[in-house]
Amino acid sequence: MPKRIERVLLDRETIARRVEELAHEIAEDVTRHVGDIHVHSDNSKSITLVPLLTGSVIFLADLIRHLPLMMRIRMLAVSSYPGKSTESQGVTIESALPDDLSDQHVIIIDDILDSGRTLAAVRQTLVARGAASVKACVLLRKMLPTALSVPVDYVGFDIEDAFVVGYGLDYDGYYRNLPDVVTLTQEAMV
């Protein structure tokens, strides 16, 4: 059996603690800017989360269970790393976009900020659809000048510039189910 996991960058307990903290940050911020939209409060406002498929699904599932806000979820399929590539190949939005986002406070949810092209493209598209506000939340941000220069409102962890998988992130579609964020060995990346 080839050894596939090289190094654990973030273990599941560390991720779980930070995701819960992030959710509190978001809930406080939303309450400040949109008003009290907790599920037990009595009003009609809500936010719209736009998670980017497929990498953000595990993060999304954990995050929203710590976010007791009125929300809708509109998934967007976006691809930038087809197949075995480990460098962004340009951004394609592959699913239908919500027609009308006027008055909606939107939060884009993504797994990782690398070149920042995905986030910039999606943000621009959602702003063009008339969203009242567009914020962005990423679990990971690579410490690269490109990634650090992209405006993002909520960041889980700043990590070194390495190709990582697990907790939703993939290499050639695999490894999304690993509970920790890890790097792969050379043998696994063929």
Q: Of 185, 161, 181, 153, nearest to 58 (Cα)? A: 181
Angle between helices 57-64 and 12-34 (to 10 degrees): 60
**111 touches ligand IMP (CB under 6 A):** yes
Q: Is 180 a catalytic residue?
A: no
Residue 166 binds Mg ion (CB under 5 A): no
- Options 10-18, 34-42, 114-122, 125-133: segment touching ligand IMP (CB under 6 A): 114-122
Report d(CA 84, CA 76) in Å as an integer.
21
The catalytic position among 114, 153, 172, 180 is: 114
Give the interface size with ligand IMP as a residue count (CB under 6 A): 19
User: In whole angstroms, what is the distance from residue 144 CA to residue 87 CA?
Assistant: 13
Q: State which residue, 157 or 163, has the beta carbon closest to ligand IMP.
A: 163
Q: Tell me the CA distances in angstroms from 43 to 70, 71, 100, one per residue in order.
A: 9, 12, 21
114 binds ligand IMP (CB under 6 A): yes
Considering only 51, 55, 116, 156, the residue that binds Mg ion (CB under 5 A) is 55
Which residues are tagged catalytic? 114
Residues binding ligand IMP (CB under 6 A): 52, 55, 80-81, 88, 110-118, 163-165, 169-170
